[in-house]
Amino acid sequence: MSEGRLLSCYVLTRNSERRLREVLSSVQAVADDIVVVDSGSTDGTLDIVREFGVRLAVREFDNFREQREYALSLCRHDWVLELDSDEVVSTELFGRLAALKLNGFALDGRTPDAFGIWREWYLLGKRVHCFYPSRCPDRPVRLFRRSVFGYRSASGVHEALSGRGWVLPIAEPILHYTCDSIDQMYAKINQYSTLAAIEMHRQGKTASWLSIFAYPWLVWFKFYVLNGGWRDGGLGLVHGRYVRDSVWQKLVKLKYDHRLGSRS
């Protein structure tokens, strides 16, 4: 098969046994090259990687931008599918990816540099209308040519791809199972609020007491009211608390955690 029809896929992991077997199963038959970049798993993650026989690399985590850029450098082919360790390729998306490969990644007679893929979010097993900091569903660029797109201009937290290539949409979804327990939600708060505080510190930003007490509620209002969190019933209330606590922890860490400078 010619290079223009080959697909690499990378997955970042750390203690990802919860969903990893399902993730790899969903993409293994359509990807010609899969690489998992692990940042120190102590559960069964590495056993699952070996079970599937895909390539494994280990790198100490510093931020998502550098981790993704490293994973991208290991991919063997120009076309790359990016997946998180809790994102499953739906049956419909699998069929679309297979068809794109056969057509040299052309869609309706047009060959772009990237595709924005519809992504549905699930929280505690239920599909939701928003999950901070995203409105759901969203359509991130997840299938792209690495010769055109990369992460170098992204921040360490919001590691969106950047590039000047042409992007087309794909309607078939990725299924994003973001958290299956309250413990996972609050572990995510701790990790992401620290990374966000480090990035803000690096940019010279500060947190006032007014922002610490007012801004979390403003963001709560945006996600619970404007972005439709109320439509998720009781789960929307749980997520609203998650939103408020995420923003509050980020700002408190920025104001008081004097170790941030040593981590940036």
- Mind giving me the DSSP string for 140-186? -EEEEETTT-BSTTS-SSS---B--S-EEEEEEEEEEEEESSHHHHH
Which domains, from first to last, does the chain contain?
3-179 (3.90.550.10), 182-263 (no CATH)
How does pLDDT run across 79-123, given as a tens digit for each residue? 999 999 999 999 999 999 999 999 999 988 889 999 999 999 999
pTM for the whole thing? 0.89
**pLDDT confidence tier of residue 165, bands split at 50, 70 and 90:** confident
pLDDT at 160: 72
pLDDT at 154 over 60: no
**pLDDT confidence tier of residue 244, bands split at 50, 70 and 90:** very high
**pLDDT confidence tier of residue 258, bands split at 50, 70 and 90:** low
Kindly state the average pLDDT of the residues 133-142: 93
DSSP conformation class of 110? B
**Max CA pair span of the chain:** 60
Provide, rounded to the nearest whole percent, the portion of the chain with pLDDT above 70: 94
Kindly state the average pLDDT of the residues 167-180: 96
pLDDT at 158: 55
The angle subtended at Cα 110 by Cα 108 and Cα 111, nearest 5°, is: 125
Kindly state the average pLDDT of the residues 237-243: 96
How does pLDDT run across 213-232, given as a tens digit for each residue? 999 999 999 999 999 999 99
How does pLDDT run across 14-67, given as a tens digit for each residue? 999 999 999 999 999 999 999 999 999 999 999 999 999 999 999 999 888 899
And the tokens for 152?
A: 């170098």
**pLDDT confidence tier of residue 153, bands split at 50, 70 and 90:** low
Q: Contact at 8 Å (CB) between 151 and 69?
A: yes
pLDDT at 77: 97
And the tokens for 132?
A: 């901070």
Q: Contact at 8 Å (CB) between 7 and 31?
A: yes
pLDDT at 263: 56
Burial class of residue 208, CB neighbours in 10 A (0-12, 13-18, 19+): exposed
Residue type present at position 213: F
Closest to 59 measured CA to CA, from 71, 48, 51, 47: 71
Burial class of residue 82, CB neighbours in 10 A (0-12, 13-18, 19+): buried
